[in-house]
Amino acid sequence: MSGKLKTAVLGATGYSGIELARILARHPRLDQPLLLRRNAETAESTGGLPHIFGNHNANGKSGGNGNSPALPFSWSTLEHHGVELLFLATPHAVSRELVAEAVTRGLMTLTSGLTTGGLRIIDLSGAWRLKHDDHRAVYGFKDNCPQTAAELTDRAVYGLPELNSTSISSAALVANPGCYATSIILPLAPLLSAGIVDCDRGIISDSKSGVSGAGKEPTTRTHFVSVADNFSAYSLFGHRHTSEILEQLALDSRQFIFTPHLLPIPRGILSTIYVYLKREMTADEVQTCFYDFYRGKHWVRVFPASTLPEIQFSVHTNYCDLGFCLAHDGRRLIVVSCLDNLLKGAAGQAVQNMNLMYGWNEAEGLQ
């Protein structure tokens, strides 16, 4: 008995899943994570990557199968290994189905307070992020058991630790936010919370992401020759993360424009966000607004006024960096945010959520 938490990762084959498995393998509070694969995935495509997981004698962790091919997923395998926390790095529809199944099988209890004993799940997909039916419609989910799905939708906690730490700490099901959404909600939350934004004049986020955000599937769009030396906008007025942002920030769809772009770099997101203020402000006032909101928050770094973050600063870390610049008229504000889409935008944030769920330091295993 190690006394350490037993975790499993289903789908450690995509970029986020691999990153997650790598972090969990070194997290001091955990046994080796159990790596699982769906039947649709071949054994070869998972686990067993010596260059990713390091030499097999290196960390002396017990349990798990960190250095071997992933096992096929089944609920009994989970139970057999005593898994307490399951990370889903699966497609949206698969996550939607699996969590509902965990509930109907009685493996998971959804209560309003702290779950006792049952399995807990952190889902990295978009399956459980949206409360409004209209918003969720863009995913086209078909729930086998609509009642369970509805209850789960209600109880799922949107896992943005800087905003929802209390509900995350007692959640049974955490919906890990989208990478773009994280890069937009974190810079806007302090301003909206302070009530200084003229929302009706329109908020615009012009966001740019590295290619790993587009997933590991080889497509014409992700071919090196298509991306290198290139840059393009996509999904204008129609990206799925828009709904997350509207819900979390309580904005109306006419108040917000989100335009994603594809950067010729492997990882990293930069969002340039345009906001009109209700009244003339000074840079100091804006600075204070950000500082006050994020005081004591380990994974958000607020830069001094007119000093802007760059993607290079936050890549390979779990930080979300924030900087801003105010026009001379004191009414037009540009906020720039940067993060690593695979860390603070996915796997790192999932681990941060786990740390909150088990009462550990938010930074544990993420340095």
Answer yes or no whether residue 360 interacts with a copy of itself by CB under 8 A: no
Dist CA 33 CA 249 (whole Å): 34
**Minimum separation from the CB atom of position 49 to a copy of itself (A):** 9
Q: Which of residues 64-103 bind a copy of itself (CB under 8 A)?
A: none
Contacting range for a copy of itself; rule: CB under 8 A; set: 31-39, 187-195, 225-233, 277-285: 225-233
Give the DSSP H or E segment for 294.
Answer: helix 283-294
Dist CA 291 CA 309 (whole Å): 16
**Candidate list 76, 112, 116, 219; residue touching a copy of itself; CB under 8 A:** 219
* Contact letters for a copy of itself, residues 152-171 (x by CB under 8 A): --------------------
**Minimum separation from the CB atom of position 171 to a copy of itself (A):** 26
**Candidate list 319, 345, 348, 349; residue touching a copy of itself; CB under 8 A:** 319
* Contact letters for a copy of itself, residues 196-215 (x by CB under 8 A): -----xx-x-x-x--xx---
Of 101, 257, 287, 123, the residue nearest 196 (C-alpha): 287
Contacting range for a copy of itself; rule: CB under 8 A; set: 63-71, 83-91, 283-291, 320-328: 320-328
User: Which of 145, 179, 320, 338 does the annotation list as catalytic?
Assistant: 179
**Candidate list 2, 43, 44, 58; residue touching a copy of itself; CB under 8 A:** 58
Residue count, binding to a copy of itself (CB under 8 A): 74
Task: Note whether 315 and 213 are within 8 A (CB).
Answer: no
Dist CA 90 CA 302 (whole Å): 33
How big is the CA angle at 29 (ends 116 and 110), to the nearest 5 degrees? 20
179 tagged catalytic: yes
**Candidate list 225, 250, 252, 359; residue touching a copy of itself; CB under 8 A:** 225
Q: Any residues with CB less than 8 A from the CB of 355 and at least 6 apart, and which? A: 361, 362, 363, 364, 365, 366
Q: Which of residues 36-55 bind a copy of itself (CB under 8 A)?
A: 50-52, 54-55
Q: Give the count of alpha carbons within 13 A of 287, CB side only.
A: 10
Question: In the β-sheet with 332-339, what is the strand arrangement from edge to edge?
Answer: 232-233, 256-262, 203-209, 269-276, 332-339, 320-326, 300-302
Using DSSP's 3-state secondary structure scheme, residue 32 falls into coil
Contacting range for a copy of itself; rule: CB under 8 A; set: 88-96, 116-124, 177-185, 272-280: 272-280
Rounded to 5 degrees, what are φ and ψ at 298?
Answer: -60, -40
Q: Which is nearer to a copy of itself, 249 or 336 (CB)?
A: 336
* Contact letters for a copy of itself, residues 234-253 (x by CB under 8 A): x-xx----------------
Q: Which of residues 14-33 bind a copy of itself (CB under 8 A)?
A: 15, 26
Answer yes or no whether residue 264 interacts with a copy of itself by CB under 8 A: yes
Q: Any bridge partners for residue 233, and if so which?
A: 261
- Cα→Cα distances 314→181, 223, 300, 310, Å: 16, 25, 10, 7
**Candidate list 272, 281, 330, 358; residue touching a copy of itself; CB under 8 A:** 272
Q: Which is nearer to a copy of itself, 31 or 321 (CB)?
A: 321
Answer yes or no whether residue 259 interacts with a copy of itself by CB under 8 A: yes
Task: Note whether 305 and 324 are within 8 A (CB).
Answer: yes
Active-site residue set? 179
